[in-house]
Chain A
Amino acid sequence: MPSLDDLRKRITSVKSTQKITKAMKMVAAAKLRKAQENAEKGRPYSEKMNNVILNLSKSITDKENAPKLLVGTGEEKVHLCIVLTADRGLCGGFNTNIIKKAKSYFEKIISENKTLKIITVGSKGYDQLKRQYKSYIVENISFKESKNINYFDADKVGKIIIEKFEKNEFDVCAIFYNKFKNVITQIPQEQQIVPLNENKDDKDDSGNDNDYEFEPDEDEILSNLLPKNISTQIFKAMLENSASEQGSRMTAMDNATRNAGELVDRLTIEYNRSRQAAITKELIEIISGAESL
């Protein structure tokens, strides 16, 4: 049985924790709104980019000589996985969900005797993966210094990928991130970016009868466009990720605040009970003491 003093101390400590979680929740909520706005603002770019590539790839007839970034190297021996996570913790299952998704993919690759290479973006992902997959991690990038998600950072990652591709260091590249659905739901995503999966989001073929004029020719445009597309996809993933992170943190901190409230209630009841018990005990002592006189 804890003493009254102990109980009082515990109540104060839980209350201050509650204050912190509450503050974190509010901060996350404010950041979430901004992140969500940014994610929405960034959507037109990646959609338009997708459209252009779709139209271009339709008009490419000579599949054999098409850029390798589009059709692949013809093999799928070496897989490069880009795992995008947050730089900070305390955001519920956000990081864990991505890692889980990525791990199941890793296991599949390893069991098929293919080579696995990992690039982690965000320090939390690196922390969680280094224990098990240290030998596969080829690069670890973190943008802790950048306050906001910006295209410049995404482009850096994109350039690393292109560089590795040109050196024939991998055949297939996939990125892992959380797609922001709403504040409570974030869906871990696995998206293949090299080679480009064309049938992934089948747009209706309305644009098919549109014969484009190309300047310069299709191949040159494609080879110029595809590297950009990779950066764009990464940027999109980063935006989605940051919205998801804040959403996830908000929910997690909301839960924590509520739990702390419950705990405080329970402890207060316990505190009052033991206080009452102590008073009753004292009274009994006094009364029985008076009686015995």
Chain B
Amino acid sequence: MSNLFNIDIVNPEQSFLSKDNVFEVVIPAVEGEIGILKDHIPIISFLKPGIIRVFSASEEQSFYVEDGIVEFKDNTLSVLTSSIFDLKDADKNFVSESISSAEAELSKDNIDDQKRFLLNHKVEVLKSISIN
């Protein structure tokens, strides 16, 4: 029995990644990380800034996402996101720019707690990327 399933990552402009041989995907869902294996029950959730890790037989890929929606159904995981990049091609300048813009946003007074939480988290994740 194979324990593989499909993953589709799409952003508005194009289909970003499509594989049919992954056995585990870890997604940064808004209430905590979720690891998805084959035959997971149908689930819809959305993402917070974080790293999607895709494990397939031959390799492991990591992507940074800022937000998005995930749907798992019939052994297909669909990730809809408007901001994603492969950690391998992470652009140092872009990352540090994102950090400073998020920090600037944080220093404003008029943001609510949820947003503050998301931004803090985003800064954290981005910083961990720039260290590697």
Contacts and interface: CB of A to CB of B under 8 A. Distances in A.
Interface of A: 38, 41-42, 44-46, 48-49, 51-52, 55-56, 150-151, 154-155, 207, 210-216, 221, 224-225, 228, 232, 235
Nearest to B45: A215
27 contacts: A38-B14, A42-B12, A42-B13, A44-B8, A44-B15, A45-B12, A48-B8, A48-B78, A49-B69, A151-B11, A151-B12, A151-B82, A155-B82, A211-B42, A212-B42, A212-B43, A212-B44, A214-B43, A215-B29, A215-B34, A215-B44, A216-B31, A216-B45, A221-B44, A221-B46, A225-B46, A228-B82
A240 to B, nearest CB: 13
A225 to B, nearest CB: 6
Interface string B31-47: 10010000001111110
A52 B8 CA distance: 14
B69 A225 contact: yes
Contacts of B30: 215-216
A221 B45 contact: yes
Given A52-B71, A221-B46, A225-B69, A45 B11 contact: yes
Contact of A214 (B10, B13, B44): B44
A224 B46 CA distance: 8
Interface string B1-29: 00000001011111100000000000001
A63 B45 CA distance: 21
Interface string B66-85: 00010101000010101000
A248 to B, nearest CB: 23
Contact of B13 (A41, A48, A49, A207): A41
A207 B71 CA distance: 13
Contact of B45 (A42, A210, A211, A214): A214
Given A41-B14, A216-B30, A49 B80 contact: yes
Given A41-B15, A42-B12, A215-B29, A52 B42 contact: no
Nearest to A216: B31
Given A38-B13, A211-B41, A211-B42, 15 more contacts: A45-B10, A45-B11, A48-B10, A48-B80, A55-B71, A151-B12, A212-B44, A212-B73, A214-B45, A215-B45, A216-B31, A221-B44, A221-B69, A228-B69, A235-B12
A127 B8 CA distance: 42
Contact of B12 (A56, A212, A216, A232): A232
Contacts of A150: 13
Contacts of A216: 30-31, 45
A213 B29 CA distance: 13
Contacts of A56: 44
Contacts of A211: 41-42
